[in-house]
């Protein structure tokens, strides 16, 4: 980009013609929602408290916002809560894993989000787990919901969250030797020349471990 060229939001002087690299949005910090939550959300919270004696210690916040119930969980307790939700509260499906990067949240910059579905009860709930960029480890939930396998690989690839216990945590979108994680907010945008010529993908057992 030459000096007289500008992109969206006034971006200039870089290869980022979109301007999103310089776009800053302050994330709102929502506190715990007070009871009653409304609808079936109170039933989910009550059932979880009865089934999981350590509820108060494992879950740091319960938030109802925009018609969704989100449980904020300590990463050290994620597996325990996941098994309870699957086996006792009948949340049979995890619809995937999404990553979020909050660069300004010291010690909790990386977040993994898990939308759960109970087909038995026709209920939904989200789990949210935060970790640090300096220690980007979160327990894998593949042994709880096997369909998380590729979703965790994509979240690792794009955000750098390391899912401990995953059976084959390798990149799934970017080449194995790619530098960085493209969906982090501090990842440079634009100006990357990529050329693929006869590339092959080795088996996960032969790849770099990234641990």
What DSSP assignment string belongs to 76-142? GGHHHHHHHHHHTS---EE---EEEE-TTSTT--EEEEEEEEETTTTEEEEEEEEE-SSS-EEE--T
Residues 6+ apart with CB under 8 A from 136: 110, 160, 161, 162
pLDDT of residue 2: 44
pLDDT of residue 25: 58
Quick: pLDDT tens for 143-190: 999 999 999 999 999 999 999 999 999 999 999 988 899 999 888 776
Residues 6+ apart with CB under 8 A from 17: 1, 5, 7, 8, 11, 190
What domains are there in the chain, each with its CATH number?
Answer: 31-173 (3.30.460.80)
d(CA 154, CA 169): 9
Quick: pLDDT tens for 137-155: 999 999 999 999 999 999 9
Mean pLDDT computed over 52-66:
93
User: Has this prediction a pTM greater than 0.85?
Assistant: no
């Amino acid at each position: 980009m030459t000096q007289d060229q500008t992109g969206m939001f006034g971006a200039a002087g870089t290869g980022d013609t979109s301007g999103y690299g310089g776009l800053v949005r302050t994330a709102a910090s929502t506190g715990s929602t007070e009871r009653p939550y409304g609808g079936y959300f109170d039933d989910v919270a009550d059932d979880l408290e009865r089934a999981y004696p350590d509820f108060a210690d494992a879950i740091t916040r319960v938030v109802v916002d925009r018609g969704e119930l989100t449980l904020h969980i300590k990463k050290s307790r994620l597996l325990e809560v996941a098994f309870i939700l699957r086996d006792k509260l009948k949340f049979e499906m995890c619809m995937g894993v999404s990553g979020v990067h909050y660069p300004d949240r010291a010690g909790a910059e990386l977040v993994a989000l898990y939308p759960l579905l109970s087909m038995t009860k026709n209920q939904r709930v989200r789990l949210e787990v935060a970790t640090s960029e300096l220690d980007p480890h979160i327990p894998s939930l593949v042994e709880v919901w096997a369909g998380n396998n590729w979703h965790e690989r994509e979240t690792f690839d794009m955000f750098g969250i390391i899912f401990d216990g995953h059976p084959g945590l390798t990149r799934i979108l970017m080449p194995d030797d790619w530098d960085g994680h493209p969906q982090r907010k501090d990842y440079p945008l634009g100006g990357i020349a990529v050329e693929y010529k006869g590339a092959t993908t080795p088996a996960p057992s032969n790849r770099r471990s990234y641990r």
